[in-house]
């Protein structure tokens, strides 16, 4: 057994991605694409993904350590299962072979792998009591390593401390409990996981907004960013023309504009970039 899949395994798992990768084989969506996606809304991202045939890319119903703070980053995934002694023995032995210390909690193994721009995405089957993946100490480690945060389909503890982490960081979670994590075993890092109704692969781009968490496959991230930007620009144009009473809402609020309005938009866009 391996805690971390090999490079070849990750490349096969994410074969749709043809761009740059980390040394581990995890897709590395470019920083400029991440920066563009920080301006996207959940609805813009979801709309493009839905049209592309990816219809289960959203998970809602979260609490946040920093409500309203939008996060965007590359997923590092992890899954925990209910503790079973023989399986846990296998995991501990595999962890030792891969350089993890037996005395360290298995949730810290995940944090050790994080890099700048990552989002730690943890499937702990919605466990809250004794399912607290991070408190303020490990949360600080996540924040310092990633500068972004985490999505935890389970619990956290020490919310008062976590809420004081620096701006720009946010941890999406299901609920808060004072108990420490126990009664679980790490099943793997950078493997496919389920968050709500969405499947997350390592290297996917996580877009966390007040609406919820959108999971953007790495190979679609650039297209989603471009589509979202186009939608934002069209919204500006449409509102301007409505305020000028050039067009009616019935003409603007449609999936596809008439040819003359589209031509007007393209000319306006050129003028804005001049």
Detail the residues annotated as belonging to a binding site.
Answer: 135-138, 157-158
Q: Token pair for residue 37?
A: 């996606």
For residue 136, the SS3 value is: helix
Provide the annotated binding site for substrate: 135-138, 157
Vertex 200, ends 71 and 16: CA angle to 5°? 105
Provide the annotated binding site for Mg(2+): 158
Q: How far is CA 176 from CA 101, 146, 170, 219, 235, in A?
A: 28, 22, 15, 34, 38
Vertex 164, ends 209 and 196: CA angle to 5°? 35
Are 150 and 134 spatial neighbours (Cβ–Cβ below 8 Å)?
Answer: yes
Are 215 and 57 spatial neighbours (Cβ–Cβ below 8 Å)?
Answer: yes
Return the DSSP state at 222.
H
């Amino acid at each position: 057994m391996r805690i971390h899949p090999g490079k070849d395994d990750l490349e096969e798992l994410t074969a749709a991605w043809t761009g740059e990768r980390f040394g581990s084989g995890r897709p590395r969506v470019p920083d400029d694409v991440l920066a563009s996606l920080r301006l996207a809304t959940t609805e813009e991202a979801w709309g493009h993904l839905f049209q592309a045939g990816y219809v289960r890319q959203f998970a809602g119903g979260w609490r946040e350590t920093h409500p309203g703070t939008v996060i965007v980053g590359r997923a590092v995934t992890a899954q925990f299962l209910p503790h079973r002694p023989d399986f846990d023995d296998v995991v501990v032995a595999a962890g030792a072979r891969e350089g993890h210390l037996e005395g360290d909690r298995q949730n810290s193994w995940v944090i050790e792998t994080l890099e700048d721009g990552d989002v730690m995405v943890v499937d702990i089957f919605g466990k809250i009591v004794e399912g607290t993946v991070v408190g303020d100490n490990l949360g600080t480690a996540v924040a310092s390593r990633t500068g972004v945060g985490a999505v935890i389909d389970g619990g956290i503890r020490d919310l008062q401390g976590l809420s004081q982490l620096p701006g720009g960081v946010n941890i999406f979670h299901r609920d808060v409990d004072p108990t420490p994590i126990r009664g679980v075993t790490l099943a793997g890092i950078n493997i496919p996981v389920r968050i709500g109704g969405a499947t997350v692969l390592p290297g996917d781009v996580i877009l966390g907004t007040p609406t919820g968490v959108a999971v953007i496959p790495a190979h679609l991230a650039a297209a989603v960013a471009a589509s979202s930007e186009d939608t934002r620009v069209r919204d500006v144009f449409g509102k301007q023309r409505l305020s000028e009473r050039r067009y009616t809402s019935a003409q603007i609020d449609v999936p596809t504009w008439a040819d003359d309005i589209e031509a007007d938009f393209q000319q306006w866009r050129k003028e804005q970039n001049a």
